[in-house]
Structure 1
Amino acid sequence: MLVTWPYRRRGSFLEAFDPRARLLAALSLMLSTLFFWDVRVLAGLWGLALLYFRLNRLTWRETRRAWLFTGFVAFVFVFITFLTGRGGFEVYQTERLLARLVLPISLFGWTPAIPITVERLFFALSQMCRMGTVITAAILIPYTLDPSQYGVVFRGLGLPDKIAYAMDLAFRFIPTLGRDAMQTMDAQRARGYELENVRGGPIAQIRRLAPLVVPVTLHALMAAEDIIDAMDLRAFGVGRRTWLTELRFQRHDFLLLGLSAALFFGSMAAAALGFGRFWTP
Protein backbone atom coordinates (compact mmCIF):
# COMPACT_ATOMS: atom_id res chain seq x y z
CA MET A 1 0.00 0.00 0.00
CA LEU A 2 1.37 3.39 -0.98
CA VAL A 3 1.66 6.08 1.68
CA THR A 4 2.08 9.82 1.26
CA TRP A 5 3.94 12.75 2.74
CA PRO A 6 2.54 14.13 6.02
CA TYR A 7 0.21 16.66 4.41
CA ARG A 8 -2.37 18.55 6.43
CA ARG A 9 -4.32 21.76 6.00
CA ARG A 10 -2.74 24.61 7.98
CA GLY A 11 -5.18 27.45 7.42
CA SER A 12 -2.81 29.46 5.23
CA PHE A 13 -4.35 31.91 2.76
CA LEU A 14 -2.16 30.29 0.08
CA GLU A 15 -4.27 27.12 0.32
CA ALA A 16 -6.99 29.01 -1.55
CA PHE A 17 -4.72 29.17 -4.60
CA ASP A 18 -4.72 26.50 -7.27
CA PRO A 19 -2.02 23.88 -6.50
CA ARG A 20 -0.69 24.28 -10.04
CA ALA A 21 -0.09 27.99 -9.42
CA ARG A 22 1.69 27.24 -6.14
CA LEU A 23 3.82 24.57 -7.81
CA LEU A 24 4.82 26.91 -10.64
CA ALA A 25 5.67 29.64 -8.11
CA ALA A 26 8.06 27.27 -6.34
CA LEU A 27 9.60 26.23 -9.67
CA SER A 28 10.11 29.86 -10.68
CA LEU A 29 12.10 30.44 -7.49
CA MET A 30 14.29 27.43 -8.26
CA LEU A 31 14.92 28.37 -11.87
CA SER A 32 15.59 32.03 -11.12
CA THR A 33 18.72 31.07 -9.17
CA LEU A 34 20.29 29.64 -12.34
CA PHE A 35 20.86 33.12 -13.80
CA PHE A 36 22.93 34.63 -10.96
CA TRP A 37 26.18 34.16 -9.08
CA ASP A 38 26.02 37.39 -7.07
CA VAL A 39 25.68 36.34 -3.44
CA ARG A 40 23.58 39.44 -2.68
CA VAL A 41 20.99 38.55 -5.32
CA LEU A 42 20.98 34.88 -4.34
CA ALA A 43 20.56 35.79 -0.68
CA GLY A 44 17.54 37.89 -1.67
CA LEU A 45 16.03 34.97 -3.58
CA TRP A 46 16.64 32.69 -0.60
CA GLY A 47 14.92 35.21 1.65
CA LEU A 48 11.98 35.29 -0.76
CA ALA A 49 11.80 31.48 -0.68
CA LEU A 50 11.88 31.49 3.13
CA LEU A 51 9.08 34.07 3.17
CA TYR A 52 7.03 31.85 0.85
CA PHE A 53 7.83 28.92 3.16
CA ARG A 54 6.64 30.89 6.18
CA LEU A 55 3.43 32.02 4.47
CA ASN A 56 2.56 28.36 3.95
CA ARG A 57 2.74 27.96 7.76
CA LEU A 58 5.22 25.11 7.66
CA THR A 59 7.13 24.48 10.89
CA TRP A 60 10.63 23.29 11.63
CA ARG A 61 9.29 20.37 13.64
CA GLU A 62 7.44 18.71 10.77
CA THR A 63 10.08 19.43 8.12
CA ARG A 64 13.17 18.87 10.28
CA ARG A 65 14.26 15.59 8.67
CA ALA A 66 14.02 17.03 5.17
CA TRP A 67 16.03 20.10 6.21
CA LEU A 68 18.74 18.06 7.94
CA PHE A 69 19.19 15.59 5.10
CA THR A 70 19.20 18.09 2.24
CA GLY A 71 21.22 20.60 4.26
CA PHE A 72 23.89 18.01 5.01
CA VAL A 73 24.17 17.02 1.34
CA ALA A 74 24.40 20.68 0.29
CA PHE A 75 27.03 21.47 2.93
CA VAL A 76 29.23 18.53 1.90
CA PHE A 77 28.99 19.53 -1.77
CA VAL A 78 29.82 23.17 -1.04
CA PHE A 79 32.65 22.25 1.34
CA ILE A 80 34.32 19.95 -1.19
CA THR A 81 34.02 22.65 -3.86
CA PHE A 82 35.54 25.19 -1.47
CA LEU A 83 38.50 22.92 -0.71
CA THR A 84 39.25 22.05 -4.32
CA GLY A 85 38.22 25.32 -5.96
CA ARG A 86 37.16 23.39 -9.06
CA GLY A 87 33.62 24.68 -9.35
CA GLY A 88 34.56 28.34 -9.65
CA PHE A 89 37.07 28.18 -12.49
CA GLU A 90 34.41 29.15 -15.03
CA VAL A 91 33.11 31.99 -12.83
CA TYR A 92 36.31 33.80 -11.81
CA GLN A 93 39.81 33.83 -13.28
CA THR A 94 41.97 35.31 -10.51
CA GLU A 95 42.10 34.58 -6.78
CA ARG A 96 43.18 36.80 -3.88
CA LEU A 97 44.78 34.82 -1.09
CA LEU A 98 43.55 35.35 2.47
CA ALA A 99 45.31 32.49 4.23
CA ARG A 100 46.86 29.11 3.58
CA LEU A 101 45.77 26.21 5.74
CA VAL A 102 48.59 23.66 6.07
CA LEU A 103 47.42 20.23 7.17
CA PRO A 104 49.53 18.54 9.89
CA ILE A 105 50.21 15.46 7.75
CA SER A 106 52.82 14.45 5.21
CA LEU A 107 52.41 12.09 2.28
CA PHE A 108 55.71 10.95 0.75
CA GLY A 109 57.30 14.24 1.68
CA TRP A 110 54.38 16.34 0.42
CA THR A 111 52.41 18.46 2.91
CA PRO A 112 48.86 19.26 1.76
CA ALA A 113 47.93 22.95 1.90
CA ILE A 114 44.52 24.49 1.28
CA PRO A 115 44.53 28.08 -0.01
CA ILE A 116 41.65 30.19 1.33
CA THR A 117 40.86 32.99 -1.11
CA VAL A 118 38.22 35.68 -1.33
CA GLU A 119 36.84 34.18 -4.53
CA ARG A 120 36.52 30.68 -3.10
CA LEU A 121 34.81 31.99 0.00
CA PHE A 122 32.20 34.04 -1.83
CA PHE A 123 31.68 31.34 -4.44
CA ALA A 124 30.89 28.92 -1.59
CA LEU A 125 28.46 31.44 -0.09
CA SER A 126 26.81 31.87 -3.48
CA GLN A 127 26.47 28.11 -3.85
CA MET A 128 24.95 27.80 -0.38
CA CYS A 129 22.40 30.54 -1.10
CA ARG A 130 21.51 28.98 -4.44
CA MET A 131 21.07 25.51 -2.92
CA GLY A 132 19.19 26.97 0.03
CA THR A 133 16.66 28.53 -2.34
CA VAL A 134 16.23 25.28 -4.26
CA ILE A 135 15.91 23.22 -1.06
CA THR A 136 13.37 25.60 0.48
CA ALA A 137 11.21 25.61 -2.64
CA ALA A 138 11.52 21.83 -3.06
CA ILE A 139 10.44 21.11 0.53
CA LEU A 140 7.30 23.17 -0.09
CA ILE A 141 6.07 20.83 -2.83
CA PRO A 142 5.45 17.56 -0.92
CA TYR A 143 4.34 19.24 2.32
CA THR A 144 1.84 21.70 0.82
CA LEU A 145 0.44 19.71 -2.10
CA ASP A 146 -2.58 17.53 -1.37
CA PRO A 147 -1.57 13.89 -2.18
CA SER A 148 -5.00 13.22 -3.65
CA GLN A 149 -4.29 15.87 -6.29
CA TYR A 150 -0.83 14.78 -7.43
CA GLY A 151 -1.99 13.26 -10.71
CA VAL A 152 -4.59 15.97 -11.32
CA VAL A 153 -2.00 18.72 -10.86
CA PHE A 154 0.54 17.24 -13.25
CA ARG A 155 -2.18 16.44 -15.79
CA GLY A 156 -3.46 20.00 -15.45
CA LEU A 157 0.02 21.28 -16.30
CA GLY A 158 -0.29 19.65 -19.71
CA LEU A 159 1.54 16.38 -19.11
CA PRO A 160 0.13 13.20 -20.71
CA ASP A 161 -1.87 10.83 -18.53
CA LYS A 162 0.93 8.27 -18.28
CA ILE A 163 3.53 10.80 -17.21
CA ALA A 164 1.12 12.47 -14.77
CA TYR A 165 0.34 9.14 -13.12
CA ALA A 166 4.04 8.22 -13.09
CA MET A 167 4.79 11.47 -11.28
CA ASP A 168 1.99 10.67 -8.83
CA LEU A 169 3.55 7.27 -8.06
CA ALA A 170 7.04 8.77 -7.82
CA PHE A 171 5.93 11.27 -5.17
CA ARG A 172 4.40 8.43 -3.16
CA PHE A 173 7.34 6.05 -3.61
CA ILE A 174 9.81 7.80 -1.29
CA PRO A 175 7.62 7.82 1.87
CA THR A 176 6.47 4.28 1.04
CA LEU A 177 10.07 3.09 0.78
CA GLY A 178 10.85 4.77 4.11
CA ARG A 179 7.86 3.05 5.74
CA ASP A 180 8.97 -0.34 4.41
CA ALA A 181 12.54 0.24 5.62
CA MET A 182 11.35 1.04 9.15
CA GLN A 183 9.07 -2.01 9.25
CA THR A 184 11.87 -4.28 8.02
CA MET A 185 14.28 -2.79 10.55
CA ASP A 186 11.84 -3.44 13.41
CA ALA A 187 11.24 -7.00 12.20
CA GLN A 188 14.96 -7.76 12.02
CA ARG A 189 15.53 -6.32 15.47
CA ALA A 190 12.76 -8.55 16.82
CA ARG A 191 14.70 -11.51 15.39
CA GLY A 192 17.84 -10.45 17.28
CA TYR A 193 19.67 -8.67 14.47
CA GLU A 194 21.69 -5.73 15.89
CA LEU A 195 21.83 -3.01 13.28
CA GLU A 196 23.76 -0.68 15.59
CA ASN A 197 26.73 -3.07 15.81
CA VAL A 198 27.70 -3.10 12.15
CA ARG A 199 31.49 -3.31 12.23
CA GLY A 200 34.31 -4.10 9.84
CA GLY A 201 35.41 -2.63 6.56
CA PRO A 202 33.14 -1.31 3.78
CA ILE A 203 32.62 -4.79 2.27
CA ALA A 204 31.81 -6.33 5.64
CA GLN A 205 29.35 -3.56 6.46
CA ILE A 206 27.56 -4.00 3.13
CA ARG A 207 27.25 -7.72 3.76
CA ARG A 208 25.83 -7.21 7.23
CA LEU A 209 23.25 -4.74 5.88
CA ALA A 210 21.92 -7.35 3.45
CA PRO A 211 19.11 -8.48 5.84
CA LEU A 212 17.78 -4.91 5.64
CA VAL A 213 18.49 -3.93 2.04
CA VAL A 214 17.39 -7.13 0.30
CA PRO A 215 13.84 -7.37 1.78
CA VAL A 216 13.17 -3.66 1.18
CA THR A 217 14.34 -3.87 -2.45
CA LEU A 218 12.36 -7.03 -3.18
CA HIS A 219 9.22 -5.60 -1.58
CA ALA A 220 9.54 -2.42 -3.67
CA LEU A 221 9.87 -4.46 -6.88
CA MET A 222 6.90 -6.65 -5.97
CA ALA A 223 4.75 -3.61 -5.13
CA ALA A 224 5.67 -2.00 -8.45
CA GLU A 225 4.69 -5.21 -10.28
CA ASP A 226 1.34 -5.28 -8.48
CA ILE A 227 0.63 -1.68 -9.50
CA ILE A 228 1.53 -2.44 -13.12
CA ASP A 229 -0.78 -5.47 -13.17
CA ALA A 230 -3.64 -3.48 -11.62
CA MET A 231 -3.26 -0.71 -14.19
CA ASP A 232 -3.14 -3.21 -17.06
CA LEU A 233 -6.33 -4.90 -15.83
CA ARG A 234 -8.05 -1.49 -15.84
CA ALA A 235 -6.86 -0.78 -19.41
CA PHE A 236 -4.81 2.20 -18.32
CA GLY A 237 -3.27 4.04 -21.27
CA VAL A 238 -5.70 2.70 -23.87
CA GLY A 239 -7.48 6.04 -24.21
CA ARG A 240 -7.81 9.45 -22.66
CA ARG A 241 -8.78 9.13 -19.02
CA THR A 242 -10.90 11.34 -16.79
CA TRP A 243 -9.99 12.58 -13.32
CA LEU A 244 -12.27 12.75 -10.32
CA THR A 245 -11.13 16.28 -9.38
CA GLU A 246 -11.22 19.21 -11.79
CA LEU A 247 -9.03 22.25 -11.24
CA ARG A 248 -9.88 25.73 -12.51
CA PHE A 249 -7.73 28.86 -12.33
CA GLN A 250 -9.28 31.82 -10.50
CA ARG A 251 -8.36 35.49 -10.66
CA HIS A 252 -5.94 35.29 -7.73
CA ASP A 253 -4.26 32.29 -9.37
CA PHE A 254 -3.49 34.35 -12.46
CA LEU A 255 -2.01 37.02 -10.18
CA LEU A 256 0.35 34.49 -8.60
CA LEU A 257 1.23 33.10 -12.02
CA GLY A 258 1.96 36.61 -13.26
CA LEU A 259 4.28 37.30 -10.34
CA SER A 260 6.06 33.98 -10.88
CA ALA A 261 6.50 34.68 -14.59
CA ALA A 262 7.75 38.21 -13.83
CA LEU A 263 10.32 36.79 -11.42
CA PHE A 264 11.58 34.20 -13.88
CA PHE A 265 11.68 36.34 -17.03
CA GLY A 266 12.93 39.34 -15.05
CA SER A 267 15.83 37.23 -13.78
CA MET A 268 16.54 36.04 -17.31
CA ALA A 269 16.55 39.60 -18.66
CA ALA A 270 18.72 40.87 -15.81
CA ALA A 271 21.28 38.11 -16.43
CA ALA A 272 21.28 38.90 -20.17
CA LEU A 273 22.08 42.55 -19.35
CA GLY A 274 25.02 41.50 -17.19
CA PHE A 275 23.39 41.99 -13.80
CA GLY A 276 24.02 39.49 -11.02
CA ARG A 277 27.41 38.20 -12.09
CA PHE A 278 29.92 36.88 -9.59
CA TRP A 279 30.74 39.53 -7.00
CA THR A 280 33.32 39.95 -4.25
CA PRO A 281 33.82 42.98 -2.01
Structure 2
Amino acid sequence: MIYPFYSEKDSLLHSLDPRVKIIGAALGIAAIMLYNDPKILIPLFFVFLLIGMFLGKVAVGEQLRLLKPLLPIVIITIIVWPLIYEPRLKGLLFGISFATRLLTFALITFLLLMTTSQRDLILGFVRLGMPYEFGLTISISLRYIPTLYILSRNIMDAQRSRGWEVEKGNFLVRAKKMTAVLIPLLVASLKTAHELSIALESRGLGASEKRTFLYDIKMGRRDYLAMGVILVLFALTLYARYGLGIGHVEIYS
Protein backbone atom coordinates (compact mmCIF):
# COMPACT_ATOMS: atom_id res chain seq x y z
CA MET A 1 0.00 0.00 0.00
CA ILE A 2 1.26 3.50 -0.88
CA TYR A 3 0.45 6.17 1.67
CA PRO A 4 -0.21 9.44 -0.19
CA PHE A 5 0.86 12.95 0.75
CA TYR A 6 -1.99 14.55 -1.16
CA SER A 7 -5.12 15.73 0.61
CA GLU A 8 -8.02 17.44 -1.16
CA LYS A 9 -8.38 21.08 -0.07
CA ASP A 10 -9.79 24.29 -1.47
CA SER A 11 -6.64 26.37 -1.85
CA LEU A 12 -4.81 28.36 -4.49
CA LEU A 13 -1.99 25.81 -4.79
CA HIS A 14 -4.46 22.95 -5.17
CA SER A 15 -6.26 24.75 -7.99
CA LEU A 16 -3.17 25.58 -10.06
CA ASP A 17 -2.16 23.58 -13.11
CA PRO A 18 0.39 20.88 -12.15
CA ARG A 19 2.83 22.21 -14.76
CA VAL A 20 2.92 25.53 -12.95
CA LYS A 21 3.64 23.82 -9.64
CA ILE A 22 6.30 21.51 -11.13
CA ILE A 23 8.13 24.42 -12.77
CA GLY A 24 7.68 26.52 -9.63
CA ALA A 25 9.13 23.76 -7.44
CA ALA A 26 12.09 23.30 -9.82
CA LEU A 27 12.82 27.04 -9.89
CA GLY A 28 12.38 27.26 -6.12
CA ILE A 29 15.00 24.55 -5.61
CA ALA A 30 17.27 26.25 -8.15
CA ALA A 31 16.87 29.56 -6.32
CA ILE A 32 17.82 27.95 -2.99
CA MET A 33 20.94 26.51 -4.63
CA LEU A 34 22.11 30.05 -5.42
CA TYR A 35 22.54 30.99 -1.77
CA ASN A 36 24.65 29.66 1.08
CA ASP A 37 24.28 32.51 3.57
CA PRO A 38 22.10 31.51 6.56
CA LYS A 39 20.84 35.11 6.81
CA ILE A 40 19.10 34.44 3.46
CA LEU A 41 18.36 30.72 3.65
CA ILE A 42 16.65 30.73 7.06
CA PRO A 43 14.13 33.48 6.11
CA LEU A 44 13.47 31.69 2.80
CA PHE A 45 12.67 28.49 4.69
CA PHE A 46 10.04 30.33 6.72
CA VAL A 47 8.72 31.99 3.56
CA PHE A 48 8.00 28.56 2.06
CA LEU A 49 6.36 27.50 5.33
CA LEU A 50 4.05 30.52 5.05
CA ILE A 51 3.37 29.76 1.38
CA GLY A 52 2.27 26.27 2.35
CA MET A 53 0.10 27.60 5.16
CA PHE A 54 -1.63 30.48 3.36
CA LEU A 55 -1.64 29.39 -0.29
CA GLY A 56 -1.84 25.62 0.26
CA LYS A 57 -3.81 25.55 3.53
CA VAL A 58 -1.29 23.09 4.96
CA ALA A 59 -0.73 23.66 8.68
CA VAL A 60 2.80 24.52 9.77
CA GLY A 61 2.74 21.60 12.21
CA GLU A 62 1.93 19.19 9.40
CA GLN A 63 4.77 20.53 7.27
CA LEU A 64 7.26 20.24 10.15
CA ARG A 65 6.03 16.72 10.91
CA LEU A 66 6.99 15.63 7.39
CA LEU A 67 10.46 17.13 7.87
CA LYS A 68 11.01 15.28 11.17
CA PRO A 69 12.70 12.19 9.58
CA LEU A 70 15.41 14.52 8.23
CA LEU A 71 16.45 15.70 11.70
CA PRO A 72 19.31 13.14 12.10
CA ILE A 73 20.85 14.29 8.81
CA VAL A 74 20.38 17.93 9.81
CA ILE A 75 22.07 17.38 13.17
CA ILE A 76 24.97 15.49 11.59
CA THR A 77 25.46 18.27 9.02
CA ILE A 78 25.54 20.97 11.70
CA ILE A 79 28.00 18.96 13.82
CA VAL A 80 30.37 17.89 11.03
CA TRP A 81 30.96 21.27 9.36
CA PRO A 82 32.67 22.92 12.40
CA LEU A 83 34.92 19.86 12.64
CA ILE A 84 36.16 20.05 9.04
CA TYR A 85 36.19 23.82 8.49
CA GLU A 86 38.10 26.57 10.29
CA PRO A 87 37.35 28.94 11.85
CA ARG A 88 34.85 26.84 13.80
CA LEU A 89 32.24 29.57 14.00
CA LYS A 90 32.20 29.98 10.25
CA GLY A 91 32.02 26.21 9.89
CA LEU A 92 28.99 26.20 12.17
CA LEU A 93 27.33 28.85 10.00
CA PHE A 94 27.98 26.77 6.89
CA GLY A 95 26.55 23.70 8.66
CA ILE A 96 23.39 25.64 9.48
CA SER A 97 23.24 26.88 5.87
CA PHE A 98 23.47 23.44 4.28
CA ALA A 99 21.05 21.94 6.81
CA THR A 100 18.54 24.71 6.10
CA ARG A 101 19.00 24.21 2.37
CA LEU A 102 18.25 20.49 2.77
CA LEU A 103 15.10 21.20 4.78
CA THR A 104 13.93 23.75 2.22
CA PHE A 105 14.48 21.30 -0.65
CA ALA A 106 12.37 18.72 1.16
CA LEU A 107 9.71 21.28 2.08
CA ILE A 108 9.29 22.42 -1.54
CA THR A 109 8.98 18.80 -2.69
CA PHE A 110 6.45 17.98 0.03
CA LEU A 111 4.35 21.05 -0.84
CA LEU A 112 4.23 19.88 -4.46
CA LEU A 113 3.10 16.40 -3.40
CA MET A 114 0.60 17.65 -0.79
CA THR A 115 -1.15 19.97 -3.25
CA THR A 116 -1.05 17.83 -6.43
CA SER A 117 -2.81 14.51 -6.96
CA GLN A 118 -0.80 11.65 -8.41
CA ARG A 119 -2.87 11.66 -11.59
CA ASP A 120 -2.27 15.37 -12.17
CA LEU A 121 1.40 15.07 -11.27
CA ILE A 122 2.02 12.37 -13.88
CA LEU A 123 -0.02 14.26 -16.47
CA GLY A 124 1.92 17.43 -15.70
CA PHE A 125 5.26 15.69 -16.33
CA VAL A 126 3.92 14.19 -19.56
CA ARG A 127 2.59 17.53 -20.83
CA LEU A 128 6.00 19.06 -20.12
CA GLY A 129 7.50 16.61 -22.61
CA MET A 130 8.60 13.79 -20.34
CA PRO A 131 7.78 10.22 -21.46
CA TYR A 132 4.85 8.75 -19.57
CA GLU A 133 6.94 5.94 -18.08
CA PHE A 134 9.47 8.44 -16.67
CA GLY A 135 6.72 10.62 -15.24
CA LEU A 136 5.07 7.60 -13.64
CA THR A 137 8.40 6.42 -12.20
CA ILE A 138 9.17 9.82 -10.66
CA SER A 139 5.66 10.13 -9.24
CA ILE A 140 5.70 6.65 -7.69
CA SER A 141 9.21 7.22 -6.29
CA LEU A 142 8.15 10.45 -4.60
CA ARG A 143 4.92 8.96 -3.29
CA TYR A 144 6.79 5.91 -1.94
CA ILE A 145 8.72 8.04 0.57
CA PRO A 146 5.92 8.08 3.19
CA THR A 147 5.33 4.37 2.61
CA LEU A 148 8.89 3.50 3.60
CA TYR A 149 8.73 5.83 6.58
CA ILE A 150 5.47 4.36 7.90
CA LEU A 151 6.67 0.80 7.25
CA SER A 152 9.88 1.44 9.19
CA ARG A 153 7.94 2.92 12.13
CA ASN A 154 5.55 -0.05 12.19
CA ILE A 155 8.42 -2.53 12.07
CA MET A 156 10.26 -0.72 14.87
CA ASP A 157 7.12 -0.70 17.03
CA ALA A 158 6.61 -4.40 16.38
CA GLN A 159 10.22 -5.20 17.29
CA ARG A 160 10.03 -3.10 20.47
CA SER A 161 6.97 -5.09 21.54
CA ARG A 162 9.20 -8.18 21.29
CA GLY A 163 11.84 -6.66 23.59
CA TRP A 164 14.07 -5.05 20.95
CA GLU A 165 16.23 -2.31 22.53
CA VAL A 166 18.24 -0.35 19.98
CA GLU A 167 19.19 2.40 22.44
CA LYS A 168 21.57 0.19 24.43
CA GLY A 169 25.17 -0.54 23.47
CA ASN A 170 27.85 1.23 21.43
CA PHE A 171 27.58 2.27 17.79
CA LEU A 172 28.51 -1.13 16.36
CA VAL A 173 26.04 -2.93 18.63
CA ARG A 174 23.26 -0.53 17.66
CA ALA A 175 24.10 -0.90 13.97
CA LYS A 176 23.88 -4.69 14.29
CA LYS A 177 20.52 -4.40 16.06
CA MET A 178 19.18 -2.30 13.17
CA THR A 179 19.21 -5.40 10.97
CA ALA A 180 16.03 -6.37 12.80
CA VAL A 181 14.42 -3.40 11.05
CA LEU A 182 16.31 -3.25 7.75
CA ILE A 183 15.71 -6.86 6.71
CA PRO A 184 11.89 -6.79 7.19
CA LEU A 185 11.82 -3.34 5.56
CA LEU A 186 13.73 -4.67 2.53
CA VAL A 187 11.43 -7.68 2.24
CA ALA A 188 8.31 -5.51 2.52
CA SER A 189 9.71 -3.09 -0.08
CA LEU A 190 10.42 -5.90 -2.55
CA LYS A 191 6.94 -7.33 -1.98
CA THR A 192 5.32 -3.94 -2.56
CA ALA A 193 7.38 -3.38 -5.73
CA HIS A 194 6.36 -6.82 -7.03
CA GLU A 195 2.68 -6.15 -6.35
CA LEU A 196 2.98 -2.74 -8.01
CA SER A 197 4.54 -4.26 -11.15
CA ILE A 198 1.71 -6.80 -11.37
CA ALA A 199 -0.87 -4.02 -11.01
CA LEU A 200 0.79 -1.96 -13.76
CA GLU A 201 1.00 -4.93 -16.14
CA SER A 202 -2.63 -5.86 -15.49
CA ARG A 203 -3.58 -2.34 -16.60
CA GLY A 204 -1.68 -2.68 -19.87
CA LEU A 205 1.23 -0.36 -19.14
CA GLY A 206 3.43 -0.25 -22.24
CA ALA A 207 0.91 -2.02 -24.48
CA SER A 208 0.53 1.06 -26.66
CA GLU A 209 3.12 3.68 -27.57
CA LYS A 210 0.52 6.44 -27.75
CA ARG A 211 -1.43 6.98 -24.56
CA THR A 212 -4.81 8.59 -24.13
CA PHE A 213 -6.11 10.22 -20.96
CA LEU A 214 -9.59 10.25 -19.51
CA TYR A 215 -8.83 13.56 -17.80
CA ASP A 216 -6.71 16.33 -19.25
CA ILE A 217 -5.26 19.57 -17.91
CA LYS A 218 -5.52 23.04 -19.38
CA MET A 219 -3.78 26.27 -18.44
CA GLY A 220 -6.10 29.10 -17.40
CA ARG A 221 -5.67 32.81 -16.75
CA ARG A 222 -4.79 32.17 -13.10
CA ASP A 223 -2.12 29.65 -14.13
CA TYR A 224 -0.46 32.04 -16.58
CA LEU A 225 -0.53 34.78 -13.95
CA ALA A 226 1.03 32.46 -11.36
CA MET A 227 3.68 31.38 -13.87
CA GLY A 228 4.51 35.02 -14.56
CA VAL A 229 4.88 35.76 -10.85
CA ILE A 230 7.15 32.72 -10.42
CA LEU A 231 9.38 33.76 -13.32
CA VAL A 232 9.62 37.35 -12.03
CA LEU A 233 10.55 36.15 -8.54
CA PHE A 234 13.18 33.81 -9.96
CA ALA A 235 14.60 36.65 -12.06
CA LEU A 236 14.81 38.77 -8.91
CA THR A 237 16.71 36.01 -7.09
CA LEU A 238 19.17 35.83 -9.99
CA TYR A 239 19.64 39.61 -9.90
CA ALA A 240 20.10 39.62 -6.12
CA ARG A 241 22.68 36.85 -6.33
CA TYR A 242 24.71 37.88 -9.37
CA GLY A 243 23.79 41.56 -9.80
CA LEU A 244 23.96 42.65 -6.16
CA GLY A 245 26.15 39.83 -4.82
CA ILE A 246 23.72 39.06 -1.99
CA GLY A 247 23.46 35.72 -0.20
CA HIS A 248 26.74 34.04 -1.10
CA VAL A 249 29.70 33.52 1.20
CA GLU A 250 32.97 32.16 -0.18
CA ILE A 251 33.77 28.78 1.37
CA TYR A 252 37.28 28.50 -0.03
CA SER A 253 39.02 31.85 -0.20
TM-score, structure 2 normalization: 0.79
- Which residue does 1:154 correspond to in 2? 125
How far 1:40 sits from its partner (Å)?
A: 4.4
For 1:237 and 1:11, the matched residues in 2 are separated by: 35
Give the direction of change, closer, same or farther, for the CA distance of 1:228–1:209 in structure 2 (3 Å limit).
same
Q: Following TM superposition, where does structure 1 have runs of at least 4 consecutive aligned residues deviating by more than 6 angstroms? A: none
CA deviation string 1:126-162 (max 9, x = no partner): 4455445434323312222224433223223321111
- Whose helix proportion is higher, 1 or 2? 2
- Which residue does 2:191 correspond to in 1? 222
TM-score, structure 1 normalization: 0.72
**2:22–2:112 CA contact under 8 A, matched in 1:** yes
**2:17–2:223 CA contact under 8 A, matched in 1:** yes
CA deviation string 1:246-271 (max 9, x = no partner): 11111111111112122223333443
How far 1:171 sits from its partner (Å)?
A: 2.2
CA deviation string 1:200-248 (max 9, x = no partner): 4444434434343222211211221232234345442241222332111
- Which residue does 2:177 correspond to in 1? 208
Amino acid at match of 2:85: G
Paired residue secondary structure (1:195): coil
- Which residue does 1:231 correspond to in 2? 200
For the pair shown, the structure with the greater C-alpha radius of gyration is 1
**1:37–1:276 CA contact under 8 A, matched in 2:** no
Give the direction of change, closer, same or farther, for the CA distance of 1:260–1:213 in structure 2 (3 Å limit).
same
Q: Does 1:273 align with 2:243?
A: yes
Unaligned runs of 5+ in 1: 87-114
Q: How does 1:1-281 map to 2 (within 5 A)?
A: 1-5=1-5, 7-55=6-54, 56-85=56-85, 115-117=87-89, 119-120=90-91, 122-124=93-95, 126-127=97-98, 129-188=100-159, 193-196=162-165, 199-238=168-207, 239-273=209-243, 275-276=245-246, 278=248
For 1:34 and 1:22, the matched residues in 2 are separated by: 18
CA deviation string 1:149-201 (max 9, x = no partner): 33223223321111111112212322222333344445545xx6212366444
Paired residue secondary structure (2:165): helix
Name the Cα RMSD after superposition: 3.1
For 1:215 and 1:278, the matched residues in 2 are separated by: 44
Bigger shift: residues 164-173 or 66-75: 66-75
For 2:174 and 2:61, the matched residues in 1 are separated by: 32
Paired residue secondary structure (1:163): helix
Identity among equivalent positions (%) equals: 23
Give the direction of change, closer, same or farther, for the CA distance of 1:41–1:65 in structure 2 (3 Å limit).
closer
- Which residue does 1:94 correspond to in 2? none
For 1:68 and 1:80, the matched residues in 2 are separated by: 20
For 1:129 and 1:184, the matched residues in 2 are separated by: 30
Unaligned runs of 5+ in 2: none
**1:32–1:263 CA contact under 8 A, matched in 2:** no
Amino acid at match of 1:254: Y
For 1:72 and 1:198, the matched residues in 2 are separated by: 15
Ranked by relative contact order (alpha carbons within 8 Å, sequence separation 6 or more), the top structure is: 1
Corresponding residue pairs, total: 248
**1:155–1:161 CA contact under 8 A, matched in 2:** yes
For 1:22 and 1:58, the matched residues in 2 are separated by: 15
Bigger shift: residues 38-47 or 252-261: 38-47
Amino acid at match of 2:14: E
**1:29–1:45 CA contact under 8 A, matched in 2:** no
CA deviation string 1:96-127 (max 9, x = no partner): xxxxxxxxxxxxxxxxxxx445x446545544
Give the direction of change, closer, same or farther, for the CA distance of 1:180–1:165 in structure 2 (3 Å limit).
same
